[in-house]
Structure 1
Amino acid sequence: MWEYKFMKFCRLFILLFVIITTERLNAQETPASYKFPPRGKNDTIRVASTNDNGEMIPWMSLHEVVIYAERIFRTPADRAAYNRLRYNVLKVMPYALFAKRRYEQLERDLASTTDRKEHKKLVKQCDQEIKQMFKTEIKELTITQGQILTKLIDREVGRTTYEIVKETQGGVKAFLYQSVARVVGHNLKSTYNPEEERDIEAIIASSGFYRQ
């Protein structure tokens, strides 16, 4: 009987010891025990913080700042050519970004349903929006601007304009569109190579199109 009471007492003691130890550990891990820097009267902005051995270090993320050196041109003609290229790239870049956003939305919409009729409806709706943009704005582009646009679409979408038309409208229409494009000096199969288009890359990087 005495041994039984002793064992019971030992178990109770061990249980109390575990509870007390756990409470101490929890108390050590509570945010109240962390050391925060003193706040000034104007410190009203909530920011993230990192625990550095018990001392909370406040921090906040900043947008990337890119500094570009002033470009030196060999001749006035080179400067003029670069300025023309910059004008053309900035002119057509919004269209390429629109195509990117619209086809990304189309892919998300197609992935959300398996109904073939709904697929056709979504593709037709996307095609009509793209065509409307062509009718109202892109048709006024010069040949050079059109050539740049086809390359930028490949840059942004990851597929050439020809491949996009083929996927959404079929191979016959893609062939017809390509034939018409070639007559006016375009090529829907144009691809984009960043190494070959360093000037365009530099223009896009400094344009602010991707700034948050």
Structure 2
Amino acid sequence: MKRVFKIGLLLCFAIFCFSIGKAQKLQTKAPVLWVEACVYQGDTIPFVELRNIYVYPPLKFSTQKEWRDYYRLIYNVKKVLPLSIMIHNTIIETYEYVQTLPNQKAKDAHIKRVEKGLKEQYTAQFKKLSYSQGKLLIKLVDRECNQSSYEIIKAFMGSFKAGFYQTFASIFGASLKKEYDSTKDDSLTERVITLAANGQI
């Protein structure tokens, strides 16, 4: 019995030593990172392009509410910005494809299919947006697409549908004609977008 115990103890010790040796080998093995290089006066100098870092003056909050509003804006931007980018990409793809269709009937049919597909895919996601997130999305669509949601709907679906959706939005105190102003009203939002897109917040 003692002999079996000693053999077992030796085995455990051997496994322990082996695992430590392996761990030490793994730790000493430095990762290889290939970078570009330039040769200057006979010396090879590594060249690494660093991303931009954006620096803004520190914000000063006079009340707790202002502080909470700012962090709510960060949360809302991170949630809504990807949706506005998706809308922009969908518009570009749809526009480019529609230009290849032979007549207006085919174009209208394709736009109806796109509208139906978007409703099926994203309605549940859009329903989860809060009131403030919905209003922010309208502005960010204008920012991404360089035209208001109203103008986009009007261009693709006609004046009647644009007017209908505008009326529907106005019932809830929103407007599809709302434009994004990065220098004045939406300067804080623009700051948050820049920092969030760069991974700084």
Q: Same fold (TM over 0.5)?
A: yes
Percent of residue pairs bearing the same amino acid type:
28
What's the counterpart of residue 79 of structure 1? 67
Which stretches in structure 2 are left out of the alignment for 5+ residues? 1-30
**1:168 equivalenced with 2:156 (yes/no):** yes
Q: 1:61 aligns with which of 49, 53, 59?
A: 49
Of structures 1 and 2, the larger Rg is shown by 1
1:155-207 per-position Cα deviation (integer Å, ceiling 9, x unaligned): 01111111111111111111111111111122111110001211111111111
> In the alignment, is the contact (CA less than 8 A) between 1:109 and 1:122 conserved in 2?
no
What's the counterpart of residue 193 of structure 2? 204
Which stretches in structure 1 are left out of the alignment for 5+ residues? 1-41
Change in 2 beyond 3 A, CA 1:210/1:171: farther
Query: For 2:148 and 2:37, how far apart are their aligned partners in 1?
Result: 43
Q: What's the offset of the Cα at 1:147?
A: 1.1
**1:91 equivalenced with 2:66 (yes/no):** no
Change in 2 beyond 3 A, CA 1:56/1:159: same
What's the counterpart of residue 104 of structure 1? 92
What's the counterpart of residue 15 of structure 1? none
**What is the identity, as a one-letter code, of the residue corresponding to 1:131?**
K
Residue-pair matches, total: 168
> In the alignment, is the contact (CA less than 8 A) between 2:149 and 2:176 conserved in 1?
yes
What's the counterpart of residue 23 of structure 2? none
**1:156 equivalenced with 2:144 (yes/no):** yes
**1:132 equivalenced with 2:120 (yes/no):** yes
> In the alignment, is the contact (CA less than 8 A) between 1:143 and 1:185 conserved in 2?
no
Change in 2 beyond 3 A, CA 1:55/1:93: same
Q: What secondary structure sits across from 2:196 in the alignment?
A: coil
Which is further off, 85-94 or 143-152? 85-94
**What is the identity, as a one-letter code, of the residue corresponding to 2:110?**
L
**What is the identity, as a one-letter code, of the residue corresponding to 2:62?**
R
**What is the identity, as a one-letter code, of the residue corresponding to 1:110?**
V
What's the counterpart of residue 11 of structure 1? none
What's the counterpart of residue 177 of structure 1? 165
What's the counterpart of residue 120 of structure 1? 108
**What is the identity, as a one-letter code, of the residue corresponding to 1:154?**
D
Query: For 1:46 and 1:81, how far apart are their aligned partners in 2?
Result: 42
Q: Normalising by structure 2, report the TM-score.
A: 0.70
Query: For 1:59 and 1:157, how far apart are their aligned partners in 2?
Result: 36
Change in 2 beyond 3 A, CA 1:202/1:133: farther
Query: For 2:53 and 2:198, how far apart are their aligned partners in 1?
Result: 14
Q: What secondary structure sits across from 1:131 in the alignment?
A: helix
Query: For 2:69 and 2:75, how far apart are their aligned partners in 1?
Result: 10
Query: For 2:38 and 2:111, how far apart are their aligned partners in 1?
Result: 47
| More contact order relative to length (CA 8 Å, sep ≥ 6) | 2
Q: What's the offset of the Cα at 1:94?
A: 1.8
